């Protein structure tokens, strides 16, 4: 599948207007003559505004340090103008990426889209694990309930970006290249299965550590009076890859744990731990051990490795995209807002209150784009 064919999934070229069966609805935006039709935008808004899709987008944006605009509009079956601008901005960005790919004589094929689907789902799982789920669904349950059409469109969006990252950054993320990288970086794809005991204070942490060094098992030491109720059953903690361990406990605390052999125990460490019962985070003394090292299967690790390699060339990707974007002629239907290189799509401002029947709704920024969805 070429970049031009992928483009046809979401947008309609100007020449399509004279072909039988083409989408000839008015443009919501035009990028160098490539039309993002109102019908295409409405379809994307309908998919993206479903409650489960909004939940997925919310955690994705939160993991990136951003906030998703409120999706619901002020009327029945509507989305907010800011949410419509968010979705349209992603479509404009996609066209710019595809234009850049064309200039680099690169294509996006079915294998790229299949890999991107896996990466999108993995990103959602990672985001939920990082920031939680506002819709009370576990990561796997959230992915399982996403509408098929929404996942299809997100896979194409991710495929375009990843292909451009790969080409612009000269990074080979083919299955063969990933397998070779996997084989030569086994430390990065080996989980550390942890034992851990949360101690009531530093003194008891040292005592528990000394018991284990002397031959007491973690499970037995966890029954001592110095162990906190926050200690997991049998003192068995999770299996984490090194990068996740560093994220959870900090690089300095992770360092002595990462070098432990199977059955090893680290000196007591003070970390910020969140009590699952109260939700309160406080400095806590913990004794860590490594129960075993567990190699992650290639199929499980492939998505994370691909994203790791591609993220390293982010600046090259941005430079290549900006060169095309600076020269691009982007025109939006004013009802959908305006576009600029620095800010992307900006939602149209609400009209003066004296011209609005429901002024409170307009001032709240929830006016208008219908979920089926026209502003």
Question: Strand (E) positions, 187-321?
Answer: 190-199, 236-240, 269-274, 281-295
Q: How does residue 353 score in pLDDT terms, banded at 50, 70 and 90?
A: low
Please give the Cα distance from 287 to 201 (Å, whole number): 11
CA dist., res. 63 & res. 124, Å (int): 9
What residues does CATH 3.10.50.40 cover in the chain? Answer: 187-296
Mean pLDDT of 129-153: 93
Q: Is residue 7 very low, low, confident or very high in pLDDT (cuts 50, 70, 90)? A: very low
CA angle at residue 210 from 205 to 215, to 5 degrees?
Answer: 130
d(CA 46, CA 60): 19
Is the pLDDT reported for residue 9 higher than 70?
no
- What's residue 8's pLDDT? 36
User: What distances in angstroms separate CA 271 from CA 198, 278, 288, one per listed residue?
Assistant: 10, 17, 11
Share of the chain above pLDDT 70, in %: 85
Tens of pLDDT, residues 292-325: 999 999 999 999 999 999 999 989 999 999 999 9
Q: What is the mean pLDDT of the chain?
A: 86
Mean pLDDT check: name the lowest of 76-80, 205-209, 216-220, 334-338.
Answer: 76-80
Terminal Cα-to-Cα distance of the chain (whole angstroms): 33
Q: Which burial class, exposed, middle or buried, applies to 8 when counting CB atoms under 10 A from its CB (0-12, 13-18, 19+)?
A: middle
Neighbours of 32 (CB within 10 A): 13
**Residues 167 and 106: beta-carbon distance below 8 Å:** yes
Residue tagged 């959870």 (tokens): 248
- pLDDT at residue 367, as a whole number: 39
pLDDT band at 19 (very low <50, low <70, confident <90, very high): very low
**By the 8 A CB rule, do 6 and 98 touch?**
yes
> So what's the pLDDT on residue 74?
77
Cα three-residue angle 271-291-194, rounded to 5 degrees: 25
Quick check: 356 pLDDT over 80? no
pLDDT of residue 116: 96
Token digits for 191? Answer: 């989980």
Query: Which pLDDT belongs to residue 94?
Result: 96
Strand partners, 15: none
**pLDDT for res 219:** 96
Fold of 187-296: Chitinase A; domain 3 (3.10.50)
Torsion angle (degrees, nearest 10) of CA 21, 110, 148, 145: -170
Which band of pLDDT confidence, cut at 50, 70 and 90, is reported for residue 277? low
DSSP string, 129-158: HHH--TTS--HHHHHHHS-HHHHHHHHHHH
For residue range 58-107, what is the model confidence (pLDDT) as tens digits? 999 999 999 999 998 877 778 999 999 999 999 999 999 999 999 999 99
Report the alpha-carbon distance of residue 62 to residue 372 in Å, rounded.
26
Query: Hey, is 71 helix, strand or coil?
Result: coil
Higher pLDDT pick, 144 / 365: 144
What confidence category does residue 354 fall into, taking pLDDT thresholds of 50, 70 and 90? low
**Do 321 and 97 contact (CB within 8 A), yes or no?**
yes
What pTM, to 2 d.p., does this model score? 0.77
Contact assessment for residue 230 and residue 286, using Cβ atoms and an 8 Å cutoff: no
- pLDDT tens digits, residue range 105-131? 999 999 999 999 999 999 999 899 888
Percent of the residues in the chain that have a pLDDT greater than 90, as a whole number: 74
24-67 residue pLDDT tens:
679 999 999 999 999 999 999 999 999 999 999 999 999 999 99
**Element containing residue 345 per DSSP (H, E):** strand 344-346
Q: Which range among 75-89, 133-147, 295-309, 357-371 shows the weakest confidence by mean pLDDT?
A: 357-371
SS3 label, residue 51: helix
* Closest to 301 in 3D by CA, of 136, 122, 66, 72: 122
């Amino acid at each position: 599948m070429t970049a031009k064919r992928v483009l046809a999934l979401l947008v309609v070229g100007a020449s399509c207007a004279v072909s039988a069966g083409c989408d000839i609805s008015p443009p919501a935006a035009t990028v160098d003559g490539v039309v993002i039709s109102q019908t295409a935008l409405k379809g994307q808004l309908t998919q993206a505004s479903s409650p489960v899709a909004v939940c997925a987008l919310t955690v994705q944006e939160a993991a990136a340090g951003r906030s998703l605009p409120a999706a619901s509009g002020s009327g029945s079956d509507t989305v907010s103008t800011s949410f419509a601008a968010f979705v349209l901005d992603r479509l404009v960005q996609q066209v710019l990426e595809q234009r850049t790919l064309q200039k680099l004589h690169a294509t996006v094929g079915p294998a790229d889209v299949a890999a991107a689907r896996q990466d999108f789902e993995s990103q959602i799982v990672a985001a939920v694990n990082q920031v939680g789920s506002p819709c009370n669904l576990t990561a796997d349950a959230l992915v399982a309930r996403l509408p098929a059409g929404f996942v299809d469109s997100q896979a194409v969006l991710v495929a375009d970006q990843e292909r451009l990252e790969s080409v612009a950054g000269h990074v080979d993320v083919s299955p063969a290249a990933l397998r070779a990288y996997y084989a030569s970086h086994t430390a990065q794809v080996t989980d550390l299965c942890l034992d851990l005991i949360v101690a009531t204070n530093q003194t008891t942490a040292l005592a528990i550590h000394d018991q284990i060094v002397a031959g007491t098992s973690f499970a037995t030491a966890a029954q001592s009076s110095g162990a906190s109720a926050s200690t997991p059953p049998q003192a068995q903690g999770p299996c984490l890859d090194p990068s996740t361990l560093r994220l959870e406990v900090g690089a300095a605390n992770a360092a002595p744990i990462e070098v432990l052999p199977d059955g090893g125990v680290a000196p007591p460490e003070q970390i910020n731990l969140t009590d699952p019962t109260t939700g309160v985070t406080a400095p806590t003394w913990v004794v860590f051990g490594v129960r075993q090292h567990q190699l992650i299967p290639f199929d499980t690790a492939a998505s994370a490795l691909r994203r790791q390699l591609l993220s390293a060339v982010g600046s090259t990707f941005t430079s290549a995209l900006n060169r095309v974007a600076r020269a691009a002629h982007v025109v939006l239907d004013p009802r959908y807002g305006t576009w600029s290189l620095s800010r992307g799509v900006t939602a149209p401002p609400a009209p003066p209150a004296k011209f609005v029947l429901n002024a409170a709704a307009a001032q709240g920024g929830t006016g208008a784009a219908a979920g089926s969805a026209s502003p």
